[in-house]
Structure 1
C-alpha cells in the first residue's frame, strides 16, 4: 500500500468523526418553527451545560463547539469540498477504476485488523472504499493531461507486475504444546465447546502469542516466520474452524482460521491505466491536492479565496 493511500485513510477517518459530531449536534437543533419556539429555552440551557469541569471551572458545550469550529472547521469543510469536487469531476469525465485495484487496497487495509466481527469489518471497508476511490479519482484527474508512452507502461508491467498481486492470506491463531497426548486433550475440549482463546492462554507454550489467546495475525505462503505446514492446513479450513493437531519443529500445533483473504492478480489490460497514473505522478510530485481542481467548478465557501 502506498503511503499516500494510508494517510488518506487516516485523514478520512478523522474528518468523518469530526463531521459526524457536527452533524449530530446540529441535527438536534433542526426542528419545526413551533417546536423551536417551545424548545428554545431548553436549547439555550443545554448550550450552557458543562461538558467538563476542572476544579471549580466549567467548560460549556457552546465553548467546546466554538473551539472545535475554530480549530477544525476550515479543514473539515475543505475536505468535504475536495471530495465533492473529485467525485463530481470523476462522473463528468466518466472515470472508471478497475474494481480489483480497490479490492486489493481493501484487503491490505484489512490485514491491519485483529480478530473483528464481520459487521464492523464491513463498516470499515465501506469507509476505506470511499477514501480509496477518492484517491484513485484524484490521481486520474491530476494526471489526465500527461501523456505516457505505452512502451514505458508495458516495460513497467513486465518488470513489476508481481508487486501488484495480493497473495492469498490467512488470519490465524494457534496453540502449541509439547506432546501429541496434550494436543489431543485440547482438541477434545474444543469439540466440547471450550474457547480456543482461553485454551491458548492456558496451555500454549508459545509465550509471544499465548497471552493474546494464541493470535498470530495474517500470513501467506510467502511469510517467512511460519512453518509451511501452517499454510497447508489453513487452506483446508473454513472460517472459525480449527485443525487437527499436527507436528512442527515447535511441537504439536492446532491452528484456528479466523478469515481468508483471497488472492488477487492482474492482467496487463487491468493494470495499464494504473501504471500510467503512477508514471504520470512522477512528473507531478507528492505535494498536489484536490484544491487545484476548484477552478473547474463553481466553489464558494465561507473562508473566501
Structure 2
C-alpha cells in the first residue's frame, strides 16, 4: 500500500494522463495543474513531462493496487464474507493511536480511509486462507496464550507543560485564559526538553502505561477533550495537561477474534505470499498492461 500513499494527491491525474494530452485539469485537492509545474533557474518543467513520468514510474503499480482492491471486495461480496465489527474498531483504534493531532473532520476522513484498508487486508487474508484447515483447538490454544493482547485499553492523546513552580504554572494558566495557544506556551515555558519543541505533545498513551505517572491518567480521565487541566505536582515540577482526544477501550472475547486468529494460523501454513493477484483468475481481470 506504500504506492497508494505516494500518489494520493495525484490519483486521478495519474490514471487519466497519456503521452499526448492531460485529460485532468485538477488534483484531488482542487488545485489546478498549470502548464509549467516548476521553474528551475531559467528552465521550466512542463506538466505533461511530469505527469508522463509519474505514469511511467507509478502507473502500473497503482493500477494493480486498484485492481487488487476491486477483486477482493467483489469476491468478498459474492461469498458474503464479513468481518467482526470489534476487530475493525480495534484495528482502527490501533492505527489512530499512532497519529498526531487532528480535528474531527480530518479524523473522520482518515478513519474512512483506514477502514477501507483494514477491510481490504483482512478480507484478502480471509479469501486466501479460507480453504486451509485450522482446528478449534489451535485457535483456543493461541487465544489462551495471551488473552489481553486482543483488547485495546482506553488511550489518551495528551500534551503537557512542565514548569518549575506553582507561580509559573499560574502565569501559564492566565495566558491560556487570555487565548494563547497551549503549544506556543509549551515552547515558551516548559522545562521538558523532550517535548518542548513539539509544543508539549506527548502522543497517545494507554491507561496502563508506566511511562507516565498515574496522576496523568487520573487527571485525563476527569477531563473533556480539547481542554487543559489545573496545575498538579510531579517529581519533575508542576504540570499543566492538555487532553486532545480519548480512544475508548475495546474488550474482546474469543468469538470476536476467532476469525482473526484462524487467519493468522492459516497464514503460517501457506506456501506463497499474501497477494490478491492469486485471486485474479477467480473473477477475471483484463488490464492495460496485459501479461506484463
Shorter-chain TM-score bucket reads 0.7 to 0.9
* CA distance 1:15–1:56, change in 2 (3 Å): closer
CA distance in 1, matches of 2:151, 2:275: 28
Cα deviation, residue 28, structure 1: 4.3
- Runs of 4 or more, structure 1, over 6 Å off, are none
- The 8 Å contact of residues 18 and 76 in structure 1, kept in 2 or not, is answered as no
Cα deviation, residue 189, structure 1: 3.0
> Which residue, 63, 78, 86 being the options, matches 1:92?
78
- The 8 Å contact of residues 245 and 254 in structure 1, kept in 2 or not, is answered as yes
* CA distance 1:277–1:57, change in 2 (3 Å): same
Give unmatched runs, 5+ long, in structure 2. 17-21, 27-32
- The 8 Å contact of residues 163 and 191 in structure 2, kept in 1 or not, is answered as yes
* CA distance 1:77–1:63, change in 2 (3 Å): same
- The 8 Å contact of residues 52 and 58 in structure 1, kept in 2 or not, is answered as yes
Are 2:30 and 1:26 equivalent residues in the alignment? Answer: no
Are 2:278 and 1:292 equivalent residues in the alignment? Answer: yes
- Asked which structure has the greater CA Rg, the reply is 1
Q: More helix by proportion, 1 or 2? A: 1
- Aligned residue number for residue 30 of structure 2: none
CA distance in 2, matches of 1:28, 1:183: 53
- The 8 Å contact of residues 176 and 254 in structure 1, kept in 2 or not, is answered as yes
Are 2:229 and 1:258 equivalent residues in the alignment? Answer: no
- The 8 Å contact of residues 171 and 259 in structure 1, kept in 2 or not, is answered as yes
- Aligned residue number for residue 12 of structure 1: 4
Q: If the length of structure 1 is used for normalisation, what is the TM-score?
A: 0.84
Cα deviation, residue 144, structure 1: 0.7
Give unmatched runs, 5+ long, in structure 1. 1-7, 30-45
3-state SS in 2 of match to 1:216: strand
3-state SS in 1 of match to 2:269: helix
- The 8 Å contact of residues 168 and 220 in structure 1, kept in 2 or not, is answered as yes
Cα deviation, residue 231, structure 1: 0.8
Task: Output the aligned Cα RMSD.
Answer: 2.2
CA distance in 2, matches of 1:286, 1:293: 13
Q: If the length of structure 2 is used for normalisation, what is the TM-score?
A: 0.88
* Count of matched residue pairs: 280
- Aligned residue number for residue 133 of structure 2: 147
- Aligned residue number for residue 69 of structure 1: 55
- Aligned residue number for residue 29 of structure 2: none
- Aligned residue number for residue 32 of structure 1: none
